[in-house]
Structure 1
Amino acid sequence: MGEAIPKPVRRGQEHKRAAILVAARDLFVQSGVERTSMDAIAERAAVSKRTVYDYYGDKRRLLLGVIEDAGETALGTLRELIDTHLSDRLTPEEVADLEHAVTGFAIDLGRSQLISSHYAAAVTLIAENETLLPELDDHPLGDTHTRTLAERLAHFADLGLLDVDDPELAAEHFHALTTLRVLNEPLRRRADAEHVQRIMTDGAHAFMRAYAARGDNRR
């Protein structure tokens, strides 16, 4: 016999879908994926177990849905912060002091990680269940995060304010110097707002030291 065709997952009502994701996220973090039953998720989401299966098919796909939902939320936040700190609407004075703009962007990005239960839960779940989720390797959502920042870095390179040959690599370096450093901290340190701000500020300054255009390259 050929390989079984996965049962299509129902679109359903968004409020039910959201309730299932929140319930699953909280229980997965509290009890672990293996020890969390679909019955418990359904009870917390105030839906039937059949509804959970109809929407997500199985627990593994539900786990992937939780992480992808967090990724979509984080991407929305990233775009909002880019629009606030690194947009085309910057004044000439703000553009000239690009390091200040990049630092402000980094600090607010760090704050968004502190207050986002979605983000913290997703990081924990990925770390604990990476082998269950091969889809996360080269996931298009991760590429979108990188490209979104890379487009802004390329814009400032075009203005002669950054020396960037590969915008996507530069975006990955920014992430490594800021958000990844925060994620590598112990949990109690990640909950310290001042500590996170220092990491994000130091990372932004290091990024600018590496990528700021030298005087003779500025247009």
Structure 2
Amino acid sequence: MTSTDDRPVRAGQAHKRAAILTAARELFVRTGVERTSMDAVAARAGVSKRTVYDYYGDKRRLLLGVVEEAGERAVATLRTLVDQHLGPAGAPLDPSDLPRAFTALARDLGRAQVLSPDYLAAVRLVGENESSLPELEDHPLEAAHSAVLSIRIAELAEAGLLAAADAALAAEHFHALTTLRVLNEPTRRRTDAAHVERIMTDGAQAFLRAYAPRDGAAA
């Protein structure tokens, strides 16, 4: 990400940007966006208030930066786990390993992302401030997140391992049965590791039943 005037971000600037976003996220969650001052963000980040304004312009754009950073990390986490469990694009996958691979993907996604305090903080901030963040509608990060899994699902369908004529829709169903289902749970249950793992793995198994080839090869 570049600074507000599109100049390349130097290593030192990137470090300051990370500190600002971390400070803002923590304060926004603790005291609310409206009650958090830019002075407080600057003090917690260890930078000047002018630096915060230079990087983000105003508090609304700072909030957007916090949410976008969480989205970027979510995409990166998903990409890493898809490559780890389903193999990178173009890699063959043994049909007999499909149930284990998707279940492990869902389990580790729950551990690495859904149970992450930073991720849950971003989800909370979006829910509380969605009306002030119109940029999130059809945001490129949403498409990028969907593409990570849908590309691999399309390859598995082409290989006859899944019955997924619409890979993008299948990816949405996977996320609906796993991550989104956890996020619809009461707040106290979203931090229960055993409960989250059960939802994630059950969701992966439901996904495989729904998208198993008609001959049952991947069941």
Distance 2:118 2:72 in 1: 10
Amino acid in the other structure paired with 1:34 = E
Distance 1:91 1:131 in 2: 43
User: CA shift at 1:114, angstroms?
Assistant: 4.5
Residues 26-175 of structure 1 mapped to structure 2, 5 A cutoff? 26-88=26-88, 89=91, 92=94, 95-175=95-175
Q: Could you say what the CA RMSD is over the residues aligned between the two structures, in angstroms? A: 1.7
Amino acid in the other structure paired with 2:167 = P
Amino acid in the other structure paired with 1:120 = L
Task: Find the residue that maps to 1:215 and give its secondary structure.
Answer: coil
Amino acid in the other structure paired with 1:78 = L
User: CA shift at 1:155, angstroms?
Assistant: 0.9
Distance 1:40 1:90 in 2: 52
Counterpart residue number, 2:5: 8
Inter-CA distance 175–140: structure 2 relative to 1 (3 Å threshold) = same
Q: Contact 1:19 / 1:45 at 8 angstroms: preserved in 2?
A: yes
Structure 2, unmatched stretches of 5+, are none
Counterpart residue number, 1:215: 215
Q: Contact 2:114 / 2:179 at 8 angstroms: preserved in 1?
A: no
Q: Contact 1:103 / 1:201 at 8 angstroms: preserved in 2?
A: yes
Instruction: Tell me the alpha carbon deviations over residues 22-68 of structure 1, each in whole angstroms, 9 at most, x when there is no partner.
Output: 00000000000000000000000010000000000000000000000
Task: Find the residue that maps to 2:123 and give its secondary structure.
Answer: helix
User: CA shift at 1:112, angstroms?
Assistant: 1.2
Task: Find the residue that maps to 2:161 and give its secondary structure.
Answer: coil
Q: Contact 2:21 / 2:66 at 8 angstroms: preserved in 1?
A: yes
User: CA shift at 1:113, angstroms?
Assistant: 2.4
User: CA shift at 1:9, angstroms?
Assistant: 6.3
Distance 1:114 1:30 in 2: 20
Q: Contact 2:21 / 2:62 at 8 angstroms: preserved in 1?
A: yes
* Identical amino acids, percent of aligned pairs: 64
User: CA shift at 1:118, angstroms?
Assistant: 2.2
Task: Find the residue that maps to 2:16 and give its secondary structure.
Answer: helix
User: CA shift at 1:96, angstroms?
Assistant: 2.5
Q: Contact 2:87 / 2:93 at 8 angstroms: preserved in 1?
A: no
Distance 1:189 1:115 in 2: 10
Counterpart residue number, 1:193: 193
User: CA shift at 1:136, angstroms?
Assistant: 0.3
Distance 2:208 2:115 in 1: 26
Q: Contact 1:9 / 1:57 at 8 angstroms: preserved in 2?
A: no
Distance 2:113 2:216 in 1: 37
Structure 1, unmatched stretches of 5+, are 1-6
